[in-house]
Amino acid sequence: MAEQFDLVVVGGGPGGYVAAIRGAQLKMKVALVEREHLGGICLNWGCIPTKALLRASEINHLLHTLDAYGFAADNVRYDFAKVIKRSRAVAGQLSGGVKHLLKKNKVTVFDGTGKLAGPGKLTVTAKDGKATELQAKDIILATGSRARVLPGMEPDGKLIWSYREAMVPEVMPKKLIVVGSGAIGSEFASFYLNMGAEVTLIEVMDRILPVEDAEIGTFVRKSFEKQGMKVLTEARVQGVRKGGDGITAVVEAGGKVSEISADRLISAVGIVANTENLGLEGTKVKLERGNVVIDEMCRTGEKGIWAIGDVAGAPWLAHKASHEGIIAVEAIAGLHPHPMDVLNIPGCTYCRPQVASVGLTEARAKEKGHEVKIGRFPFIGNGKAIAMGEPEGFVKTVFDSKTGELLGAHMVGPEVTEMIQGYGIARTLESTEAELMHTVFPHPTISEAMHESVLDAYGRVIHI
């Protein structure tokens, strides 16, 4: 006989576990189905452990630039195995935290793979093959995504890595090729470069970080190259050859074909939604470009079936998944939540220098018919950034020249991933340049550059 619940959530990542907890807060009897590990890819193999690795690489960079701060240290070195071990420990600690939160909120967790088995029904198959039937009026699909695999560049666990192998390598490569310069590729390229590897970053588009404002991508490329990275854009990997303990990529760029040899290659060419084996056949759930189609409340075409996070398409961000989880559950509860505006979702890339943005790029704003005012402020004009020894980067703001609406904000430099939420709040509150100009920013902080960029858009910048 099927176990009865008010809500069943399939997938325990940042969308799924948040949805389950919110459902429990609203007095629903909730079940969460997770086949591998609570916290999902983000917490176990993505957002969190990569930030632990990047923190280590930042420290390594700092230890090798101590002279700039008046310090000296001899024989600076690191234990790569300990760096990796710490990253895994951080992920493990947070995964345990999610387990505790679910237990605290009385969410019933089922270990296994979930599959729709008719209206309001889900079959959970455990690793030992045992099947459990669940029944609920509403089911939320939060099954996430996996790395896209290109033919001929399939990860083999040794010479060709996906993000998983790149996070737990047995050895530190001396030479590395990274294919794909989105957030994942750029972060791994930055990590290994700052740990001492020779890195070649290959991107098929005309610039790296192609979803970011063009000025940001250009700036980051110059910074990467200044740090010693080789960057190839408008380049395609035609094939790879594996050796005993190395790999060679055949790359076409600028009409010329060359060969690049390295110890390892990381494939970071995007992601694919996990929609297989969910039992969608025979339902009214529609797929578009491999993603589940949803409305503004995260409903699918099948009554009682909802979808959130990566499985429902871009932007593929953990915080977007979590917020969709809240929206879906509150809609189920009849609370009439606000639809999510994807243009108000900040995007962050934690390479060195950091990148953060929200809203429209300058080019996209013009494509949508806006007459724009652009403000820029470099961190070289910011006292705190100079005192920190991190004056590299700038803030760029995009306004509608007629209404003063903040259309977009783009930042590259120190701790910008922590500051972008300020512009996110401004967009959510539908602020104009007037409110931002009248906001008092504390001194000395690097956030003052955000204020100055707004002032610059209207000819009132002070410190440059």
Tokens of 42: 């983000």
Give CA–CA dist 35/26, Å, rounded. Answer: 25
Q: Could you write out the DSSP letters of every residue in 254-291?
A: TTEEEEEEESEEEE---EEE--TTS--TTSS--EETTE
Compute CA distances 453 → 391, 458, 464, whole Å.
Answer: 15, 9, 10
Tokens of 317: 């961000």
Give CA–CA dist 451/442, Å, rounded. Answer: 10
The candidate with the shortest Cα–Cα distance to 260, out of 269, 268, 251, is 251
Give the alpha-carbon dihedral of 124, 129, 130, 134, to 10 degrees.
Answer: 10
Q: Which residue out of 37, 338, 370, 443 is catalytically annotated?
A: 443
| Residue that is written with structure tokens 């995260």 in the block | 298
Q: Could you write out the DSSP letters of every residue in 88-111?
A: HHHHHHHHHHHHHHHHHTTPEEEE
Tokens of 128: 């030992």
Sign, Cα dihedral of 217, 222, 226, 230: positive
What H or E segment, with its residue span, contains residue 84?
Answer: helix 80-104
Q: ω before 444 within 30° of 0 (cis)? A: yes
Give CA–CA dist 304/121, Å, rounded. Answer: 10
Contacts of 72 (CB under 8 A, 6+ apart): 66
Give CA–CA dist 358/335, Å, rounded. Answer: 27
* Whether the Cβ atoms of residue 373 and residue 179 lie closer than 8 Å to each other: no
**323 an active-site residue?**
no
Q: Max alpha carbon distance in the chain (Å)? A: 71
Sequence letter at residue 99: K
Tokens of 76: 């600076």
Q: Helical H runs in 107-180?
A: 163-167
Q: Could you write out the DSSP letters of every residue in 196-212?
A: T-EEEEE-SSSSSSTTS
Active site residues: 443
